[in-house]
Structure 1
Amino acid sequence: MVVQKSPQRAVLWGCGPQGSEVTVYVLGPTTQKKQTSVSNETGMWRVMLDPIEAGGPYNITAASTNPTNESVTLVDVLFGDVWLCSGQSNMYFQVSQIFNASKELALASKYPHVRIFMADLVQSETELPDLANVSIPWSVPNEKDLAPFSAVCWLFGRYLYQILKYPIGLVESCWGGSAVEAWSSPTALKKCGLDYMDEKLMGPHANSILWNSMIHPLLNMTIQGAIWYQGEANTNYHKDLYNCSFPAMIDDWRTAFHEGSGGQSAIDFPFGFVQLSTDIKNSTDDGFSDIRWHQTADFGFVPNFRMKKTFMAVAMDLPDSTSPFGTIHPRDKQDVAYRLTLGAQVVAYNHILTCNGPFPFLILPDKMYVYIIFDQELAVTPSKDIFEICCSASVSLCGPRSNWVSAPIKLWVQRTIQLSTELCPQSEEVAAVRYAWRDWPCDFKACPVYSAKTALPAPPFIINFQSSSGWKRRHIATDNYLSTEDDWQKMQNGFL
């Protein structure tokens, strides 16, 4: 197995006869000895090791005395970073199902320091102190055990190991078709007014039913961070509350793991997630678009004020129209994991690199065009319809069912794109702009806007304007507004 390295302290726990004394011995490159006793109330014992640097192997023995003399020894234990992987079916999606699966499985033996563990699919209406069952016990990866393991989780861990060069532990706990409410504690649900049971729901949708059985038993564990791929189940269930329920779940997990590990899992541990990919081509339903936006707490990017120390992998440009597992399950999990790894490097490991695609920095509309200035240089492919503008006499009228019309890309240079407003009726003005606001916005890696430097895609966004000095313009990054025509003229001159 892999347990968390320094500077955090790993927590070990187990069960035994009530009142018995337990001694834990750590033998390897360094040695430790810790003593504790089994609780008379819970029948559980736990110890917190002193910090141990990455590496190994170690043997760890727990020995009890009074009234019995028993011992258990864990062998080939490594210290490194432990990541929890959770969500629904796209996180559950197996290594054996991805593109080039046989090649990936053949690589398993080359990564003996990336260890895997998989919780079994169990539901509970009450919080469990321990996992009821395990699908894959802690294992050195091999083709047989890796085949049913989460592809996103494995690839994320493997890519991280190639960068960090020390052990990575991967804990998979996910369930296909599950809603965010199922993974949330009652405390988290209450913050969003969801602390009630929907009688129509059963299985992996029901409130807290997977939190109880597949997250709560892990809270003693010291972890480095978590990654998440979920949201499809909420495109038609409490969709409009996801901008509350998802951030609330993250906050609650952080608090719960921090407290459960005796303060060793950081109170703000890094949390990465995959923004939803695609489902139905030419769909007019806004479910996927809305959830993508709500996954960022309606900011469009992370980290942000509401979701600190988070990172995101955009996946809307990775559709798979021929997936034998359904179009909602794209097989390209390599790019998803790679994009997650970029975010983890920045947020979890303080590496200096660009992990996000371009995002609007400034939007300047006039009567003929909308100018969108992004925060990095662009690689642009012309498109007639992926940008849309809302034509309205009032900003407040711009919603999902508003008069959205296509805004063709006319020109672009460096960080700026010029959109035409010619399809707006003359009696109305441009009140909002949105990008890639559809279930399936583009073909594989063929969206119109990418970073010229990193080839990362711009995420979807929807921006309502505010009026100022006759023109409507918005500075996205700081929420300040330009106020003079001189500012506008300088922007025009710079573009032209």
Structure 2
Amino acid sequence: MKLLLKIIPLLFVVSSIHISQAQISASKVFTDHMVLQRKADIPVWGNAKAGTKITVELNQQKQSAYANADGQWQIDLPALPAGGPYILNIYENESTSPTVSFKDVLIGDVWLASGQSNMEWQVQQAMNADEEIKNADYPQIRFLKVEHAKEMEPQAEIKNGKWKAIDPASVKDFSAVAYYFSRKIYTDINVPLGIIQSTWGGTPVEAWTSREQLLSSSVIRDRVTANDTITTDHIEKDSLDLIKFWELVYNPHNGTEKSIPKRNYNDSDWPTVAMPITIKNWDVPPYEGMVWLRKNIDLPKSMTEKDLTINLGHPELNYSLYFNGTEICKNVWNAEPKHSYTIPEKAVRKGKNTIAVRIAYLWGGGGFNPPAEEMYITDNKSNISLNGEWKYKKDLEPTIPTIMNYHRYSSYLYNGMINPVIPYAIKGFIWYQGEDNVKEATDYDKLFPLLINDWRIRWQQGYLPFIYVQLANYMNRKQEPSESDWAVLREAQTKTLTQPNTGMACIIDIGEAETIHPLNKQEVGRRLALLAENMVYGKQVQAYGPMFKNYSLEEGKVIIEFTETADGLSISKNSDKLKGFAIAGKDRQWHWAEAEIKENQVIVYSPQVSEPKAVRYNWADNPEGNLINSSGLPTVPFRTDNWPTVNQK
């Protein structure tokens, strides 16, 4: 489907809301404090009684139109330069007093930020949250956070959302990646920045793509039509179940919090489990619900009459910690790598002390994750380990309902969270998603371009810049070269650069093995901003790390050439040897390779492969490659072969 194809945006597919006499309204995406796109026509739309004359005024510019038979209207205001604040007035018929007014309106650049949890991850959840929140004083950066909405049909309105200026009170709930992206752009370009944040964690790319576009692809057509038996009753029930689900997760039931944490509670019939443990080795999964854990420890007199510190290492999120019956913390989605808390002196006893944890077992996870040495209690002089046997008990609280997760269904988020903001004039898109498609990674190089083309067609602003994040390194590092779904999906993301006016931020060096949500969102936002400045704003900045160009074979070695080397290739800090390269011969057996930098080339070889045929770099879930350019940006993972990979026949 070509971009030049003219289509009618699905702005008003749902039935019109009845508009009474002498009443007009604008779309909910228009509120006080909004940012409107500079140097482009500015669409403003809404509802009114059929035939009503609507006049929109902004900065002494006025345009008029009539509401159609369905009570819908749209007016395109002429382009304006960056500036403001202005008042946007909407008049009914020939009235000289506005029926609707929006104040503190800025003209600048507007970006749509979308994707799953790593784009949704809030400033208050990410690295250096306290300091970042305290220093967030950017009144000319504004966010509109679109409320979650899963819908079977395209909607005309977002459920809720208001434009807010960035300050310490507002910034904590916004996307960390989008905030750090907008902050750098604003600082460097000095124009007002608006972010429309439309995000939902744990969602595949097809959930954000229109049904019409998905049906055009044989890769996913059958999956789309398989959902046609779903009704609104299914979705309403699931929404109610979801409310109940989180109420049960966040709040103890059956009085468990009053009895189980106490020292004298009888847990003699509870089974035991060694903690920490890789969750798949324990007998609780696939159980989903709340589990209580208890452990008794003996404290010497030297550790009493003082505050202590307890470190839980790497527990699953959503838990409450008790010490001798005293609640020490209630953790809700805190992904900080260190879960450390103070135990007040008054809660500490000589001899037997009881630690109790109420923890959510969700989506195949739960309990405490390795390493064991990060679980201990201390007085800063001596430590007592908390690894080893813990008592545990499930089914002490009500069963949590099974959630169908309709927000993951094809097109449901497009319908509820993207269609309603079309055709709001924007500068471009930033996107961070892919984790939820890893299990079907071989389809992503088809599905991702579908979304990009779909959105560009709907907005009808040409080849709008589409800048996205490649998946970070994640999970345990493997000792030998192996196949990887994560590597396949990253390759699909790299292939998507063949789409016009796209850019990809590689973050293969800042992920974390233990969490799918790396905390360094500042660097993710910065790298996205570098791409925007290079692609959109005409700044001569190095936006990419080295990228594979071609290769040649020469006397048992593979010579790799790169682009985007800046002032040269080098090895990242704290390393003196290139890592991450694997080499294979015609037997397709992979071995770690030796690698050396020679100008803008890397020479790859191995004594185990006398006649090499192919090289892979950072082809792993959590690779350790360390090749960078002079700007410190990492090399984009690549392979020289086209051999079948994971899930390919």
Aligned to 1:256: 458
Structure 2: distance between partners of 1:151 and 1:282: 27
Specify which of 191, 199, 211 is matched with residue 166 of structure 1.
191
Q: In 1, Cα distance between the equivalents of 2:473 and 2:561?
A: 27
**Equivalent residue in structure 2 for 1:392, among 586, 592, 596:** 586
Pairing of 1:44-59 with structure 2 (within 5 A)? 44-59=72-87
Deviations 1:442-495 (A, max 9, x none): 2xxxx420002x1110010011289xxxxxxxxxxxxxxxxxxxxxxxxxxxxx
CA distance in 2, matches of 1:9, 1:465: 45
Q: Residues 249-299 of structure 1, C-alpha deviation per residue, up to 9 Å, x if partnerless?
A: 1011111111xxxxxxx310111001001321225661211111101227x
* Contact 2:467 2:531 (8 Å CA) reproduced: yes
Match in the other structure for 2:20: none
1:307 matched residue in structure 2? 499
Show the counterpart of 2:158.
Answer: 131
| Aligned residue identity for 1:101 | A
Alignment of 1:313-328 (within 5 A): 313-321=505-513, 327-328=515-516
Q: Secondary structure at the match of 2:169?
A: helix
Which stretch shows the higher mean deviation, 171-180 or 343-352? 343-352
The aligned runs of 1:224-243 (5 Å cut-off) are 224-236=427-439, 238-243=440-445
In structure 2, the partner of 1:196 is 222
Identify the residue that residue 433 of structure 1 maps to in structure 2: 615
Which deviates more from structure 2 when the two are superposed, residues 353-362 or residues 125-134? 353-362
- Aligned-residue offset at 1:328: 0.3
Query: How many angstroms does 1:196 deviate by?
Result: 3.1
Evaluate the alpha carbon distance shift between residue 113 and residue 69 of structure 1 in structure 2; reply closer, same or farther with a 3 A threshold.
Answer: closer
Are the counterparts in 2 of residues 2 and 168 from structure 1 also a CA contact under 8 Å? no
Question: Which residue of structure 2 aligns with residue 206 of structure 1?
Answer: 409
1:378 maps to what in 2? 569
Cα deviation, 1:199-243, whole Å, max 9, x if unaligned, reads 59742221101011110111120110000000000001x321100
For 1:340 and 1:455, the matched residues in 2 are separated by 15
Is 1:8 matched with 2:34? no
SS class of match (2:639)? strand
Match of 1:270 in 2: 465
User: In structure 2, how many angstroms separate the alpha carbons of the residues matched to 1:344 and 1:3?
Assistant: 18
- Cα distance change, pair 360–69 in 1 and its aligned pair in 2 (3 A): closer
- The match for 1:458 is 635
Change (3 A) 1:285 1:88: farther
Taking a change above 3 Å as real, the CA distance of residues 240 and 173 of structure 1, as seen in their structure-2 partners, is same
Contact kept in structure 1, 2:422 and 2:458, CA below 8 Å: yes
- Checking the alignment, whether the CA contact within 8 Å between 2:445 and 2:495 is kept in structure 1 is yes
Cα pair 1:2 1:82 within 8 Å, conserved: no
1:255 and 1:267 in contact (8 A); partners too: yes
1:94/1:147 contact within 8 Å kept: yes
Deviation per CA, 1:381-400: give whole Å up to 9, x if none: 5547511122216xxxxxxx
1:36 to 29, 46, 65: 65
**Once the 2 structures are TM-superposed, how far is the Cα of residue 98 of structure 1 from its aligned partner?**
1.3
List gaps (5 residues or longer) in structure 1.
259-265, 394-401, 467-496
- Count of residues in Structure 1 that have an aligned counterpart in Structure 2: 424
Report Cα offsets for 1:15-52 as digits up to 9, x if no partner: 2222211111224xxx11111122222x2221111111
CA–CA separation in structure 2 for the residues paired with 1:436 and 1:34: 55
Backbone CA RMSD of aligned residues:
2.2
The answer (yes or no) to whether the contact 2:140–2:165 under 8 Å persists in 1 is yes
Equivalent residue number for residue 147 of structure 1: 172
Please state how far the C-alpha of 1:350 moved relative to its aligned partner: 2.3
Describe the shift of the 1:382–1:362 C-alpha distance in structure 2 as closer, same or farther (beyond 3 A): farther
2:493 is aligned with 1:291: no
What secondary structure sits across from 1:430 in the alignment? coil
Letter aligned with residue 613 of structure 2: A
Larger radius of gyration: 2
Please report how far the alpha carbon of residue 68 of structure 1 lies from its aligned counterpart in structure 2 after TM superposition.
13
Match for residue 403 of structure 1?
589
Deviations 1:389-423 (A, max 9, x none): 22216xxxxxxxx42211122x3232122212322
In structure 1, distance between residues paired with 2:542 and 2:136: 29
- 1 CA distance for matches of 2:40 and 2:58? 16
Residues 432 and 463, structure 1, Cα contact 8 Å, conserved in 2: yes
1:114-125 equivalent positions in 2, closer than 5 A: 114-125=141-152
Give the CA deviation at 1:152: 0.5
Q: Which residue of 2 aligns with 1:220?
A: 423
User: Percent of aligned pairs with the same residue?
Assistant: 31
Higher RCO (CA-CA < 8 Å; seq separation 6+): 2
Contact 2:467 2:504 in 1 (8 A): yes
Paired letter, 2:417: M
Distance in 1 of aligned mates of 2:126 and 2:548: 33
Any conservation in 1 of the 2:578–2:626 contact (CA below 8 Å)? no
Mapped contact 1:391–1:405 kept (Cα < 8 A): no
| CA distance, structure 2, for counterparts of residue 166 and residue 348 of structure 1 | 14
What amino acid is the match of 2:636? P
The 2-side partners of 1:148 and 1:6 are apart by 26
| 2:206 equivalent in structure 1 | 181
Further displaced range: 380-389 or 152-161: 380-389
Higher mean C-alpha deviation, range 354-363 or range 84-93: 354-363
Residues 61, 72 of structure 1: 8 Å contact kept = yes
Amino acid at match of 1:127: P
TM norm structure 2? 0.62
8 Å CA contact 1:117–1:171 kept in 2: the answer is yes
Contact 1:431–1:465 under 8 Å retained in 2: no
SS in 2 for 1:297: helix
Give the conservation status (yes or no) of the 8 Å contact 2:126–2:519.
yes
In structure 2, distance between residues paired with 1:8 and 1:289? 39
Q: Does 1:99 align with 2:127?
A: yes
1:134-187, Cα deviation, whole Å (9 max, x unpaired) = 2xx101122222111100011101110001101010010010000001001123
Whether 2:182 is the aligned partner of 1:157: answer yes
What displacement does 1:4 show?
A: 3.6
User: Aligned AA for 2:581?
Assistant: F
**2-side partners of 1:430 and 1:205: how far apart?**
43
SS at match of 2:133: helix
Paired amino acid for 2:467: G
Match of 1:153, as an amino acid?
A
Q: Within 2, Cα distance between the matches of 1:345 and 1:92?
A: 23
Are the aligned partners of 2:91 and 2:99 in contact in 1 as well (CA < 8 Å)?
yes
Secondary structure of 2:132's partner?
helix
Q: Is the 8 A contact 1:186 1:195 kept in 2?
A: no
CA contact (8 A) 1:2 1:167 kept: no
Residue 245 (structure 1) aligns with: 447
